[in-house]
Amino acid sequence: MNAGRHLANLALIGFMGTGKTSVGRLVADQLRFEFLDTDDLIETRSGKAINDIFSQNGESAFRQLECDLVEELSSVRQTVISTGGGLPVSPANLDSLKQHALVVCLWSSPEKIFERVRDQSHRPLLQSPDPLARIRSLLATREPFYKRADVLINSEFRSIREVAQQVILQFRLATGQK
C-alpha cells in the first residue's frame, strides 16, 4: 500500500462535522507534530471567512485556493493536516496528499453529522432550508472520493480521544513504528 511513498505527514479527510479538526489537534499533540487546518489557512491568507469567499468569489474560487494550498503542502513534514470536507473531491488533491501523507478518513452517518453541525453557521454549503437532506445528498456524492483514503475510521460512536488513538495506531502501523 505504501510502496514508493514517504509518509512524513498525516492527513485527515471526511465530511463536515466528522471531527477532523478536534481529532487532528489531539493527534498532532500526541505525535508532537505540527497541526495545520486548510480552512483556517485559507481564511488567514485571504483575510476572509469561508462564508465570504463563497458569497463574494464563488465556490470555484474557494476550490482553487484549496488546490493551490494542497500543492504547497508537499513540502511540509511532521504535520497533521486537517482538510476541508470538499477537498478530496478533486482527485488531484487526494493524489497529491497521498504522496507524502497517510490519508485517514473520518466517517459518520448523515444524522450524526446533522446533530453536530445544526447550531453552526460557518458552513456555506449547509445553509439550506433542509440541511439534513443536503448532508445526505452531498455525502452520497462524495462517498467514492472519501473511500479512496488509506484508512477509514468511524467517528460516530467514539469520543474524540478514542478516534485520535485509532488514528495514531494506524499511522504507527503504516510507518512501521511500534
Q: Where do contacts with ligand S3P occur on this chain (CB under 6 A)?
A: 16, 20, 39, 50, 84-86, 123-125
Closer residue to ligand S3P, CB minimum distance, 124 or 131? 124
Closest Cα to residue 139, out of 13, 54, 36? 13
Kindly state the smallest distance separating residue 137's Cβ from ligand S3P, in Å.
Answer: 12
Q: Which amino acid is at 164?
A: A
Q: For 15, list phi and psi in degrees, rounded to 5.
A: -65, 160
84 vs 110, beta carbon nearer ligand S3P: 84
Euclidean distance between CA atoms 149 and 104, whole angstroms: 6
For the bound state, the minimum distance from the C-beta of residue 20 to ligand S3P, rounded and expressed in Å, comes to 6
Write down the least CB distance from residue 67 to ligand S3P, Å: 13
**Residue closer to ligand S3P (CB basis): 20 or 100:** 20
Using alpha carbons, list the distances in angstroms from residue 66 to 1, 25, 74.
26, 20, 13
Minimum separation from the CB atom of position 75 to ligand S3P (A): 22
For the beta sheet containing 9-14, the strands, ordered from the edge strand earlier in sequence to the opposite edge, are 34-37, 79-82, 9-14, 101-107, 151-154
Residue number with CB closer to ligand S3P (160 or 174): 160
* Secondary structure (3-state) at 47: coil
Helices of type H across the chain: 20-31, 38-46, 50-52, 59-72, 91-100, 110-117, 131-146, 160-175
User: Minimum distance between the CB of residue 89 and ligand S3P, rounded to whole angstroms?
Assistant: 8
CB nearer to ligand S3P: pick between 34 and 52 = 52
